[in-house]
Structure 1
């Protein structure tokens, strides 16, 4: 073998090794970037994102888009480098997103629970804003079959247990916990337009056998026949709450909150209408601008970061509560300057 060929081989070996290592070995980072964005006034898979039945609806136009962050995991060295230089993604240690002491299934389950809670909070906050009555509803059942499973259904309104009126989820929790297992209680509930009554024998609570147990998950929501369904699958976390509330209010009240414009935003919400901060604001703004949003609703605690990373042409509106979000949208529609992130 002549010297020239040998020199070439020696030079190529590190390149080949780097190629193999770069394409096979994963790095302990995940890439965060702009995720899908959904119009909460529109449809996904032929279903209304916020589907409302049992009440007259007002027509809506324009957009009220919720935004998400994409997370790309199990990156090899080349993929990680490509995301880093793209300018649209950031690399963070994997442990920040997927803590090693928590399983992926547990994280996904927690994200789904947060998303479900955000839906419930959004519904109650919107109905409170509209001064519409709320009710205590069956939101689901536990993993193990409980005594109420097969008697009650998801969406049933709980009216009374024995002679005790049910005005809040805590009323059910306290009454059942104080009643010994094996006791038969009478549950009055409303399903659709009909009021029903059923005897249910309490089981022992899995975590405290001395307490009674129905085996239902509770929440507040619209009083039947009003029914609200949120139809977004494979989305986790609590940050869609604000936009869900705005969409529900827009559908149940006269006029258009967005003035027919393209508005996007993010933010958690509690039942009182308080808006809370979220993560990944820069990627959510980027996603919103890419699909055509002109205005972005920013939780007040995210304003400093948002102001530094805002895409060109995107107006940032500072939001602390549901009321302030609606007031700012009214200002925009009237040609006034809303409260901005400064």
Structure 2
């Protein structure tokens, strides 16, 4: 066999061997790619995404699309060949596995966490939209979750309204932790609550709850990293009563990043005219009750997914602007927003066609 032929054959066999080995070599990475994008003003799986009853709504047009990212599952083990392909693919992103699933988080834990964040984002979107419309919303601090085998287990329950801690009135979820950590581990702390069942009954009957309870627990020591502190094993959140019903019908989506687009969709349906003027606007961003827009992950994937569906403008959280502007799809204008008010102002410019002064990312 000629030497040149032998060399080529050996090289080919070595390449095949390396490729085969790469298929079986697991690497600690996961992959992100553009996910579905859904118009919050339209239908999904045959029913409106936003359903409002008990309040007059108005016709809308155009698009206010929320965007998503697909990620590989927690138990998926990427091989070397897949990782290299993902690194080379323009529309995908390979990241360390722990970036998506920190501390060995399981698929079930991640799904549960994403579902809770999605539910909370819906509530905050409703509050932010109604506040922007000067519609009053009643809010109170509740027990969101109770940790198993903690001092609070069996004494406090999800949905209990926290009125006070040690006699001090609670106004925000953060107040609860501040008041508990004034104690040393092993000391007693007293919660004044309205039981969840009493609160639910009062809401149904449209009355003020008339029964409170004092619950005393002995604090224990936190087991997370950092300075040790007193805890009782709960997380506090906020619940609301709305003057009419707003339902968000969107399954198989998780995380908090659709908050801004839900809030804008609700606002559009409750106001005459069209926010978009018929344009295709997409976007992303968390939102809190006050209407502040927060950053999200996977911004590059979301802009790609939005443009592929036809988006002309993309509402981008201010803290994501730099990353988004590095590799923005052609034909997509990235607009920097920090609040729902910023987003409404940008939509007014888009609607009027006066887009020269839009706060664009990268300017």
Normalising by the residue count of structure 1, what TM-score does the alignment of the two structures yield? 0.76
* Partner of residue 47, structure 2: 47
Give the distance between the partners of 1:120 and 1:110, measured in 2 at CA. 16
Cα contact 1:135–1:167 (8 A) shared by 2: no
Cα contact 1:41–1:49 (8 A) shared by 2: yes
**Offset of 1:264 from its aligned partner?**
0.1
Give the distance between the partners of 1:340 and 1:50, measured in 2 at CA. 28
Cα contact 1:146–1:216 (8 A) shared by 2: no
Give the 5 Å matches for 1:1-342.
14=14, 17-72=17-72, 73-99=76-102, 101-105=103-107, 106-136=109-139, 187=198, 190-191=202-203, 194-195=206-207, 219-223=238-242, 225-337=243-355, 338-341=358-361, 342=363
Q: Which runs of 5+ in 1 are unaligned?
A: none
Aligned length: 324
**Offset of 1:205 from its aligned partner?**
6.1
Query: Do the aligned partners of residues 280 and 188 (structure 1) sit closer, same or farther apart at CA in structure 2, a change above 3 Å counting?
Result: closer
Give the distance between the partners of 2:93 and 2:69, measured in 1 at CA. 11
Once the two structures are superposed, residues 28-64 of structure 1 have per-residue CA deviations (whole angstroms, 9 ceiling, x without a partner) of 1112221111111122233332222221111111111
Query: Do the aligned partners of residues 141 and 82 (structure 1) sit closer, same or farther apart at CA in structure 2, a change above 3 Å counting?
Result: closer
Give the distance between the partners of 2:330 and 2:88, measured in 1 at CA. 20
Once the two structures are superposed, residues 160-210 of structure 1 have per-residue CA deviations (whole angstroms, 9 ceiling, x without a partner) of 99xxxx99676x979xx99979x99794664457548686877776978xx
Normalising by the residue count of structure 2, what TM-score does the alignment of the two structures yield? 0.72
Query: Do the aligned partners of residues 179 and 85 (structure 1) sit closer, same or farther apart at CA in structure 2, a change above 3 Å counting?
Result: closer
Cα contact 2:143–2:156 (8 A) shared by 1: no
Query: Do the aligned partners of residues 96 and 195 (structure 1) sit closer, same or farther apart at CA in structure 2, a change above 3 Å counting?
Result: same
Cα contact 1:34–1:68 (8 A) shared by 2: yes
Cα contact 2:314–2:332 (8 A) shared by 1: yes
Once the two structures are superposed, residues 274-328 of structure 1 have per-residue CA deviations (whole angstroms, 9 ceiling, x without a partner) of 1122222111110000001011111112222222211111111111111011011
Give the distance between the partners of 1:240 and 1:207, measured in 2 at CA. 37
Cα root mean square deviation, aligned: 4.1
